[in-house]
C-alpha cells in the first residue's frame, strides 16, 4: 500500500449531502482546498456553510471547472446521468481526478468522463454519516472500498489515508457483490433488529431494547469471530416443532414479518446443513415445514 502524499489539490464537491460534506471536510483537514460545492436544498447549503467554510456554492459544471479533484457524492441512480451530462457540456478536462463515493458502482460509472481524459476513482466509505462535525473524527480508522486503474491505485489509497481512513481494495468486477454483502450485513440487520423490537413490544415486554441488546451484541460478536460456528436456536438444532409454532404465531400476530422469517429460517437451515450442524433429513423436515407454514 502506498503512503505517498499527493500534491495539494483544489477540491470540488457534488453535492453537499451527509457524505460529500464530511469527506470534503476531511480532505480540507488534510491540507487540500475545497473551493466549490453544489448544494441545492436549504439543509445542504447549511451543511456546506458549517463543514466547508470558504467553499463557494456553485452549479455542478462550475464546480468541475474550479477543481483538480471532483468528489461526486450523489445517490447511485443519479451518478451515471450526472457524469454523462457533464461530459456532454464539455465540463471535464484531461488530467482531472474524479472520485465517486458509491459502494455499488465501480469506475465504469465514470466512463463518459474517462473518455475525456479524466482519471477515475471509486472511494466508498464503509460507515454511516449524519452530516455533522463528529463524522470527520469517525473517519479515523474507517475502511474505504477502493477501486481504480492499477496506475491510479497509489493516488486513491493516499487520498483515503489522508482522510484518516484505511483503503481496502475491491476489484471492479466485484463491486456489486461487495455492496450486496455490506447491505445484507448492515441494512438488513437494522430491519431484523427493528422487527424483533416491535414483536417484543407487542408481546408486552417493557423496554424491549434492554432485553434484546445483550443477545444481539453477543450474536454479532460470535458471528464475526466464528462464522457458522455461532449458529444457535431452533433452526440450527433441527427443532421443527418450535419453528412450526413460530410460523403459526407470526401468521396470527405479525403476518407482515412472516415472509422474512421464512426466508431467513430457510437460509439459516441451509448454513446449518452445510456446516454439519443438522442432518440432511432434519434440513428436509425444516424446509417442508417452512414451505407449508
- Which pLDDT tens digit goes with each residue over 145-204? 999 999 999 999 999 999 999 999 999 999 999 999 999 999 999 999 999 999 999 999
Task: Verify that 16 and 99 share a domain, yes or no.
Answer: yes
| Interval 264-273 mean pLDDT | 98
Mean pLDDT of 100-111: 98
Instruction: Give yes or no: residues 75 and 28 share one domain.
Output: yes
- Identify how many contiguous H helices and E strands the chain contains and give both numbers: 14, 8
Average pLDDT over residues 23-34: 97
Band (pLDDT 50/70/90 cuts) for residue 130 is confident
Let me know if residue 5 belongs to a domain: no
Could you tell me if 158 and 23 lie in one domain?
A: yes
Query: What is the pLDDT at residue 128?
Result: 87
Residues 122 and 143 in one domain: yes
| Residue 3 pLDDT exceeds 50 | no
Same domain for 270 and 201: yes
Domain span at residue 235 reads: 177-292
One domain, residues 23 and 64: yes
Quick one: 165 and 190 in the same domain? no
Evaluate whether residue 105 is within a structural domain. yes
Residue 2 lies in a domain: no
Cell numbers describing residue 246: 413460530
Q: How many CB atoms lie within 10 A of CB 278?
A: 24
Looking at the fold, whether 34 and 101 belong to one and the same domain comes out as yes
153 near 171, Cβ under 8 Å?
no
Q: Give a yes or no: residue 139 inside a domain.
A: yes
pLDDT of residue 117: 98
How far is 60 from 72, CA to CA, in rounded Å? 10
- Which of 86, 91, 85, 83 is closest to 109 using CA atoms? 83
Residue 4 reports pLDDT greater than 90? no
Domain boundary among 152, 170, 188: 170
61, part of any domain: yes
pLDDT at 246 over 90: yes
Domain boundary among 170, 198, 224: 170
Same domain, residue pair 111 and 192: no
Last residue of a domain, one of 170, 197, 228: 170
Average model confidence (pLDDT) across the chain: 95
With bands split at pLDDT 50, 70 and 90, how would you rate the model's confidence at 5?
Answer: low
Number of separate domains in the chain? 2
Whether pTM > 0.85 for this model: the answer is: yes
End-to-end Cα, the chain, rounded Å: 52
Residue 258 has pLDDT above 60, yes or no: yes
CATH code (residue 142) = 3.40.50.720
> Rounded CA gap, 29 and 133, in Å?
12
Q: What percentage of the chain has pLDDT greater than the value 70?
A: 98
61 has a pLDDT exceeding 50? yes
Q: Which of 32, 26, 220 is nearest to 141 (CA)?
A: 26
Residues 6+ apart with CB under 8 A from 35: 10, 11, 12, 55, 56, 66, 67
Residue 76 CA to residue 17 CA, distance in Å, equals 13
Amino acid at each position: 500500500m502506498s503512503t505517498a502524499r499527493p500534491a495539494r489539490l483544489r477540491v470540488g464537491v457534488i453535492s453537499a449531502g451527509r457524505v460529500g460534506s464530511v469527506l470534503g471536510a476531511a480532505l480540507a483537514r488534510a491540507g487540500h482546498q475545497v473551493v466549490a460545492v453544489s448544494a441545492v436544498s436549504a439543509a445542504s447549503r447549511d451543511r456546506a456553510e458549517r463543514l466547508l467554510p470558504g467553499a463557494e456554492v456553485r452549479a455542478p459544471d462550475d464546480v468541475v471547472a474550479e477543481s483538480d479533484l471532483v468528489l461526486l457524492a450523489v445517490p447511485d441512480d443519479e451518478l451515471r446521468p450526472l457524469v454523462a451530462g457533464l461530459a456532454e457540456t464539455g465540463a471535464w478536462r484531461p488530467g482531472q481526478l474524479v472520485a465517486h463515493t458509491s459502494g455499488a458502482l465501480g469506475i465504469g460509472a465514470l466512463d463518459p468522463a474517462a473518455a475525456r481524459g479524466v482519471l477515475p476513482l471509486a472511494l466508498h466509505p464503509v460507515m454511516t454519516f449524519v452530516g455533522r462535525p463528529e463524522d470527520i473524527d469517525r473517519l479515523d480508522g474507517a475502511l474505504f472500498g477502493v477501486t481504480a486503474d492499477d496506475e491510479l491505485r497509489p493516488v486513491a489509497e493516499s487520498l483515503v489515508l489522508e482522510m484518516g481512513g484505511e483503503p481496502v481494495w475491491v476489484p471492479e468486477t466485484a463491486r456489486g457483490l461487495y455492496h450486496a454483502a455490506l447491505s445484507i450485513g448492515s441494512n438488513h440487520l437494522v430491519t431484523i433488529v427493528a422487527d424483533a423490537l416491535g414483536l417484543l413490544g407487542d408481546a408486552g415486554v417493557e423496554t424491549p431494547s434492554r432485553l434484546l441488546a445483550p443477545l444481539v451484541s453477543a450474536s454479532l460478536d460470535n458471528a464475526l469471530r466464528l462464522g457458522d460456528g455461532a449458529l444457535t436456536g431452533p433452526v440450527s438444532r433441527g427443532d421443527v416443532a418450535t419453528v412450526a409454532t413460530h410460523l403459526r404465531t407470526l401468521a396470527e400476530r405479525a403476518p407482515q414479518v412472516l415472509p422474512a422469517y421464512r426466508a431467513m429460517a430457510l437460509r439459516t437451515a441451509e448454513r446449518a446443513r452445510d456446516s454439519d450442524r443438522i442432518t440432511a433429513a432434519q434440513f428436509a423436515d425444516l424446509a417442508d415445514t417452512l414451505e407449508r407454514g
